[in-house]
Amino acid sequence: MINLTIDGIAVSAPEGSTILEAAKLANINIPTLCYLKDVQQIGACRICLVEVKGARGLAAACVMPISEGMEVHTNTPAVRMHRKLNLELLLANHNRECTSCVRSGNCELQALCREYGVDEYPYDGAKKETKVDELSPSIVRDNSKCISCRRCVSTCNKVQAIGAIGAAHRGFNTTIGCVFDRSLAESPCVNCGQCILACPVGALHEKESIDDVWAAIQNPDLHVVVQPAPAVRATIGEEFGLPMGVAQTGKLAAALHRLGFDKVFDTDFGADLTIMEEGTELIGRLSDPNAALPMITSCSPGWIKYCETFYPEFIPNLSSCKSPHEMLGATIKSYYAEKNGIDPKSIYVVSVMPCTAKKFEAKRPELSHDGMQDVDAVLTVRELARMIKQAGIDFARLPDADFDSVLGDSTGAAVIFGATGGVMEAALRTVYELVTGKTLESVDFQAVRGTEGIKEAEVDLNGRVVRVAVAHSTGNAKKLLDAVKAGEKQYDFIEIMGCPGGCVTGGGQPIVHSRDLMYIDVKATRAKALYDEDSGKALRKSHENPSIKKVYDEYFEKPGSHKAHELLHTHYVARKKYE
């Protein structure tokens, strides 16, 4: 341990710590912009400057290592002056239309300017020529608001191992973008949206579908159905000041009803449906000596596009199952339409997703039938929150409501789909009982839970030991697949989620301030909300859902049937890195 003082407070921190990390231990706040815990510490923005006794000039706290007896001052006149100066310099080349910015009120630059009293622009001068890139179906890049902090670049390269964006040119002319000044739509971008969560300002945001959804709701010729993903209930409350880690399922259903949707179903039903199809597919592959193993889950569209782009040799290993919201969309436009005498072409399906890649997924021609896309529009959690606010709904005070039956009924296995390891656990609950004919003593498969990047386990299915693995983030997917390719690892079943932590930290989720990320394990906190809801459910296995049984009895016949394959399964395509 190293002993030092920060603002006169004695602090002990592990050797190798930075001043910023030591200050955190003493609950001393040092502002940052380019720093992102566990992702980037480069000292580029110069907002975290501090005074160190005996040192020449000011030091960047995020990169300056501590030493024995060091005296640090974080709040001197010189420190405040230079922080304010650096903010003013950033604003000199920044689009300051804050009131119309999607991040207004949740912008780290805006907050710092307020804290340091930046109310003039003394260095207002030449501005770089910029353009707005709107060609991606999921992500909009507006470089007029970019502050070149490089947090998005580090996330894309280090966490996701994709490298779709980077820095070009030098000095004042530095820009963040794609190679050869291409659009994100022409890059290896997998639409995961992790760059949006990393961005401290409004330079990156999802491509909005709010106006399209409002227009559909107000169109008397359309029957508009909405479905929220499992992870949405774990995070929507954060947009309204409610605590992180508490599911707001009842309030979510109530808000969706009040927005004017004709039916409010639940993607959790689609998750239960996915387990029936995917579990059946896994059992079939395990008994077929010629089947492609390991079978890999296909619920995460960011991961699917990553596989198609970087690991096309694993396409035969992907489960042919559509993702849960696409399965439910197809079911709404077939089973539900037929049972209720509604022309499926007049049904407009809206999915509320924790994921920006779902916007890309919904447009895939492979996810359609009879000339109709399974899902017509995708909203992120942030977009839904804006709609609720636009409608004047006081979310925090809403009484709980229920989803509409039959396609709103689900089990605990479905809700944990939103956490890394959840799809694997839900599948094992059903596959184990279908194969062995035994009832599980405990449905909690702890070995596949948690936020470790790659997890492994073995499950005994009547003497057949099934080797499973779970990975989250495409960066960890790369490590796992490389090990499989090299013959270092052998598995029968793999779950991969494209985002770190799974859907609970998807690119469409509420944005958490980088300062809070230093103190909160967002992945674990949000996942806990889903596991809590699962443990409180009367039914916790997908095959026990009576509404699932009803839909199979009345329409799909059985899991893996011809009709099920027509509507609930799909195929994948190899992609070039630059299209």
Q: Supply the residues annotated as catalytic.
A: 278, 281, 299, 319, 358, 361, 366, 503
Q: Which residues pair with 18 in a beta bridge?
A: 65
* Helix/strand/coil for 119: coil
Shortest CA distance to 222 belongs to which of 177, 261, 172, 183? 261
DSSP string, 535-574: HT-S--SGGG-HHHHHHIIIII-STT-HHHHHHHB-----
- Quote the radius of gyration of the chain (alpha carbons, Å): 25
Cα–Cα distance measured from residue 497 to residue 469, given in angstroms and rounded to the nearest whole number: 12
Q: Which helix (H) or strand (E) holds 377?
A: strand 377-380
Cα–Cα distance measured from residue 30 to residue 23, given in angstroms and rounded to the nearest whole number: 7
Q: Which residues pair with 466 in a beta bridge?
A: 459
- Give me the residue label for tokens 């304010």: 84
Cis peptide before 77 (omega within 30 of 0): no
- Give me the residue label for tokens 């013959």: 487
3-class SS string, 424-436: HHHHHHHHHHHHH
Cα–Cα distance measured from residue 36 to residue 28, given in angstroms and rounded to the nearest whole number: 17
Cis peptide before 435 (omega within 30 of 0): no
Task: Provide the pairing of β-strand 139-142 with 49-52.
Answer: unpaired
Q: Which residues pair with 369 in a beta bridge?
A: 372
Cα–Cα distance measured from residue 81 to residue 266, given in angstroms and rounded to the nearest whole number: 52
Task: Provide the pairing of β-strand 2-6 with 9-13.
Answer: antiparallel
Amino acid at 165: I
Q: How far is CA 490 from CA 3, 303, 313, 409, in A?
A: 47, 20, 16, 37
3-class SS string, 427-470: HHHHHHHHHHCCCCCCCCCHHHCCCCCEEEEEEEECCEEEEEEE
3-state helix, strand, coil in the chain (%, to 5): 40, 15, 45
Beta strand extents in 273-366 (DSSP E only): 295-296, 347-353
Q: Which helix (H) or strand (E) holds 374?
A: none
Q: Which helix (H) or strand (E) holds 305?
A: helix 301-310
Q: DSSP state, 33? A: S
